[in-house]
Amino acid sequence: MNPVPKHKPRRLKGKALEELHEAVYVRDGGRCKKCGAPIEPGTPAHHKIHKSQGGEDTMQNMEMRCLDCHGEEHS
């Protein structure tokens, strides 16, 4: 019996990851998706499903969060 291969989450690095963060920033209008606060350009996007839980680096799994809302998510 052949084992079922595990799904390997999509992970990006370098320029590709930077471009994804920028695309999420533009899509979300440079504002926190939770409270609506403006976010500085270059701020990394938040993973809805955390990487540690198998979350992927995709537009569907990422959204902009201000530092306060992002911190609340992780505390």
pTM of this structure: 0.83
The reply to whether 3 falls in a domain is: no
pLDDT in tens, 5-22: 677 788 989 999 999 999
Question: pLDDT tens digit string along 20-61?
Answer: 999 999 999 999 999 999 999 999 999 999 988 989 999 999
User: Can you read off the two tokens belonging to residue 49?
Assistant: 């499903």
In a domain, 1, yes or no: no
Tell me if 9 is assigned to some domain. no
Q: Which two three-digit tokens encode residue 20?
A: 């994804």
Query: Domain for residue 42, yes or no?
Result: yes
66 within domain boundaries:
yes
How far are the Cα atoms of 8, 20, 24, 46 from residue 62, in angstroms, in the given order?
18, 9, 7, 5
**Domains held by the chain: number:** 1
Domain of residue 49, residue span = 14-74
